[in-house]
Amino acid sequence: CFHSTSVLAKGGGKKLPSTNKKRKNKEHPSKSKHSNNIQHNPYQNIPDPVEQQRKEAKTQQQEVPPAYLVKTASDYAYIAKCVIMDEQTGELLIDPRTLFSEIVGSSNHQDNNNSNSNNNKKQGKQQKRSYVPQIFKQSHFHYFPPSTFPNHEPPTDGTPEVAFLGRSNTGKSSLINALSAKILRSGGGSGGSSASGGGELARTSKRPGRTQQINYFGLVPNNSVSASSSTSVASFKGKDGMKHPNSSQSKMFLVDLPGFGYASAPDKDVDAWQERTQAFLISRASTPSDGGSVQSWVGDGGGSPPLKRLYVLVDSRLPQPTLLDLSVMGWCDDYAIPYTIVLTKVDGSSRAHCVRLTNQLCMRYHSLHVGISRSNDEEGDGEVYMDPIVYWTSSKDGLGMEELLMSVESNSFAVEDEEIGLNDPDEHQNW
């Protein structure tokens, strides 16, 4: 065959290859695409389910979810849309630009005096502010060890308190220190290692689970020690040999709770911390009820429970709230504990990511709001215990401290129309 081919090539010269090419060209178009598909790949028109799922998943990622949030006057506070807008008519019930306008107003006043500083700021980013509610001025947070309370138990005089709770290593202690430092820079503060401005108020650590007990920080006037010598309220001496104010001089308490979730400690210790935290929250935020495995609030003079608000911290660097975060929120809903979501470490996340995360949280509030509205139509009773406002904070850069202090003030000293009840006290479950 090889010999005959070479002879033909010599005899035919240049025409043989061209004839073959023409023949191939003629044969190739004669075969229709339809006949080829049927003959060689009869399943070509059947869609590939795996590829179809990939396309659908890609389309869902590109879709923009509906907006459940509205920006307030501040860059670091967003509110659920269903609270300020009538969903049927689209009418605004509350102008969101009026919320936290005091902070932005004081910021604009500063900006007018320092217009040259605007060139150093990123476009669209608000200036740092120095607004602090009046209640925190000429005051400071002071750490009160358990030994300063009767029987080493939390105070029972009904002084209002707010608590901070979050996953281990979510920046809870750092946030408390940042709030204290903000008060110091605004005219508050006092010397001493257990007061704001005298080092860290709450101990911080990169090791998860550093906070293992319930810590009380009282907001006391700067002249509390000198005033105690001329009144019936006695001060006490700490380990440093200095006089400290008495816990009864506190206007309110800020409570640092042990973190939940992962911690650098044995599992049995972690479970014990969380059980203590749950028992504390129920005993401080619920009114007396019939039965129940955990004792509800019983103060010296009766009245409403002292715990006015629980601040649940969520790490903004996470792609979405963890199942454990959502479980804690659901637990608060079940036990009628009012709570507010605070995003931490926003300096480590993009603004677009924080908006998406906030929108997910506002969507959760929307679902609770709709569910309660329907139950009210049927039963005439119901309440959403989740705060519709989500706060952004950065302890490193001091962002969002003014907004959070405003929330602490309004929740601590607001007059409540009715006491908070405990739902299903017999069913005490862990997170």
What average pLDDT does the segment 182-210 reach? Answer: 57
Instruction: Tell me what the mean pLDDT of segment 248-255 comes to.
Output: 92
H-only helix segments in 13-118 = 15-30, 33-40, 49-62, 81-84, 101-113
Q: Is residue 385's pLDDT more than 80?
A: yes
Compute the distance between CA of residue 361 and CA of residue 329 in angstroms, rounded to an integer: 11
Q: How confident is the model at residue 58 (pLDDT cuts 50, 70, 90)?
A: low
Q: Quickly list DSSP for 404-430.
A: HHHHHHHHHHPPPSSPPP-S-TT----
- Cα R_g (the chain), whole angstroms: 32
Cα–Cα distance, 359 to 64 (Å, whole number): 11
Q: What CA–CA distance (Å, rounded) separates 239 from 143?
A: 13
What is the average per-residue pLDDT within 179-199? 63
Report the range out of 225-239, 293-307, 326-340 with the highest average pLDDT.
326-340
pLDDT for 198 equals: 39
Segment 67-76 shows an average pLDDT of: 94
Give the per-residue pLDDT at 297.
64
Rounded to an integer, what distance in angstroms lies between the CA atom of residue 131 and that of residue 113?
Answer: 16
Q: What is the rounded average pLDDT of the residues 97-109? A: 75
Q: Give the separation between CA 158 and CA 304, rounded to whole angstroms.
A: 8
CA distances from 295 to 273, 283, 301 (A): 17, 6, 17
Asked if residue 201 has pLDDT above 50, the reply is yes
| Average pLDDT score over residue span 255-279 | 72
Which conformational region is residue 138 in: left (phi greater than 0), alpha (psi within -120 to 50 degrees), or beta? Answer: left
Q: Write 108-116 long-range contacts (CB < 8 A, 24+).
A: none
CA proximity to 405, closest of 134, 224, 31, 97: 134
Q: Are 167 and 148 in contact (CB under 8 A)?
A: no
pLDDT number for residue 96: 93
Is residue 141 over pLDDT 60? yes
Please report, as a single letter, which amino acid is at residue 296: S
Q: Which pLDDT value is given to residue 83? A: 93
H-helix or E-strand spanning residue 341: strand 339-344
pLDDT band at 259 (very low <50, low <70, confident <90, very high): confident
Q: Which residues contact 205 (CB under 8 A, 6 or more apart)?
A: 173
Residue 300 has pLDDT above 90, yes or no: no
Q: What type of residue is 266? A: P
Q: Mean pLDDT in the chain?
A: 74
Q: What is the mean pLDDT of residues 98-106?
A: 82
Check residue 154 and give its pLDDT. Answer: 87
Rounded distance, CA 400 to CA 125, Å?
13
Instruction: Pick the closest to residue 306 from 249, 234, 246, 254 (CA basis).
Output: 254
For residue 426, give Cα distances in angstroms to 291, 300, 429: 7, 25, 9
The yes-or-no verdict on residue 125 having pLDDT over 70 is no
pLDDT greater at residue 367 or residue 53: 367
**Which residue has better confidence, 95 or 186?**
95
